[in-house]
Amino acid sequence: MLRFQQNLQNLKNLKSIAFVSSIYKQNQLPLHLPRFLFSISDSTKTITLPKINDEKLLASIFTVPGNSHRFYRFYGDKAYNYYAVRALKLKLPDATRKEFVKITGVLVTRKFLSEVAKVCELDKMMLSYNKAGVNCNLGEMMEAYCSGMLFNGMEEEMKKFTSDVVDYYLKNYNK
């Protein structure tokens, strides 16, 4: 009974929730800043490419001759764009439209995806499937790999991967 009375007394001493909330908002950093600072402080973090366990799927993504992997690229491009924008919005919820469009414009380019592919060592993984070392755009192959993740039911891994990609961008480009 004593504990109940103490809790009741503590409740009476509290200010209204609206008042406490307004004080908190006045003294609070912008919502996106702590997340941004957290992602920058983790300087040892690299992008880890989730492993697709379906060897047939991987082989079809990496060894399709010529331009025949267009379907994988198309689907992967759309999926990557969606998940990358989603991750960006979660990390920077208060970003202005201008900032958001600027960052998104970089995140979805094949040049940036090529860089991500090198960081993830997708190029080395491709060599194990294609000994001839076919010269292809790494950004396009990253898109194809993203489609493979989703075809393999790896949606949660895709979310984590794109979140890591956004962290990588914020750490290396957003200075």
How does DSSP assign 66-121, residue by residue? TTTTHHHHHHHHHHHHHHHHHHHHHH-TT--HHHHHHHHHHHTSHHHHHHHHHHHT
Residue 46 has which token pair?
């690299």
> Is the Cβ–Cβ distance between 52 and 149 less than 8 Å?
yes
Neighbours of 169 (CB within 10 A): 22
Can you tell me the distance from the alpha carbon of 85 to that of 104, in angstroms, rounded to the nearest whole number? 7
174 phi/psi in degrees, rounded to 5 = -90, 65
Looking at the domain that runs over 31-172, which CATH code has it been given? Answer: 1.10.1520.10
Q: What is the dihedral of CA 44, 49, 53, 58, to 10 degrees?
A: -150
Tens digits of residue pLDDT in 140-169: 999 999 999 999 999 999 999 999 999 999
- Report domain extents, the chain: 31-172
pTM of the predicted model as reported, rounded to 2 decimal places = 0.70
Tens digits of residue pLDDT in 6-48: 554 554 544 444 443 443 344 344 444 444 444 444 444 589 9
> Is the Cβ–Cβ distance between 162 and 86 less than 8 Å?
yes
148: left (phi over 0), alpha (psi -120 to 50) or beta: alpha
> Is the Cβ–Cβ distance between 151 and 76 less than 8 Å?
no
Please, how many CA atoms are within 13 Å of residue 89, restricted to the half-sphere of its CB?
8
First to last CA, the chain: 57
Tens digits of residue pLDDT in 82-117: 999 999 999 999 999 999 999 999 999 999 999 999
